[in-house]
Amino acid sequence: MDSEDNIRVIIKMASRMDQQVSQIIELDSTRIKKNCWRDNSLSFRIFVEDQLKFDTTVVKEALIQIGDDDFLKKSILYSAWIDNYDKELKTVIMGFNVIVPDTDWAYEFSLSVDKTGKSDLLLDEIK
């Protein structure tokens, strides 16, 4: 991002202490393994000239693009990143994904926010 645009992005991930996903794996006829993962929430904040222009928190249940209850029961909000900055449009593009741990099953999203705070959330890919 150009220093002349003076845009600051803050992404925070927080564990949701009331939400976890468990997975039970049968190792053989007498042993099982149980894995547990804590779900997360993601907070996105965009400042322009030290003024807050965008502030939102994302949880997987609010992502209507998913529309798959089985996936939501098994998945966690996993990670987030700054993907790109479009200098012409003065837009920050961030990405995040919701995954089922230890599988290839995932939904990847992009969140674009311009310097006025206008945002667009898109489902990019289902794996």
Please indicate, yes or no, if residue 2 is contained in any of the structural domains. Answer: no
Query: Which DSSP symbol is given to 28?
Result: S
Please indicate, yes or no, if residue 54 is contained in any of the structural domains. Answer: yes
When divided into structural domains, the chain yields a total of 1
Maximum Cα–Cα distance across the chain: 64
Token look-up 């053989």 returns 28
User: Residue 53 pLDDT more than 50?
Assistant: yes
Q: Which domain holds residue 36?
A: 7-126
The pair of three-digit structure tokens given for residue 19, joined into one six-digit string? 């939400």
For residue 18, name the pLDDT band (cuts at 50, 70, 90): confident
Give the per-residue SS3 of 52-73. Answer: EEEEEEECHHHCCCCCCHHHHH
- Which CATH number characterizes residue 52's domain? 2.40.128.510
Looking at every residue in the chain, the average pLDDT score rounds to 91
Average pLDDT for 67-91: 93
pTM of the predicted model, to two decimals? 0.85
Please indicate, yes or no, if residue 119 is contained in any of the structural domains. Answer: yes
Please indicate, yes or no, if residue 1 is contained in any of the structural domains. Answer: no
Query: Which DSSP symbol is given to 30?
Result: S
Nearest to 21 by CA among 89, 68, 77, 93: 77
| Residues whose CB falls within 8 Å of the CB of residue 56, separated by 6 or more in sequence, listed in order | 43, 44, 119
Please indicate, yes or no, if residue 26 is contained in any of the structural domains. Answer: yes
CA gap 68, 9 in Å, rounded: 31
% the chain with pLDDT above 70: 97
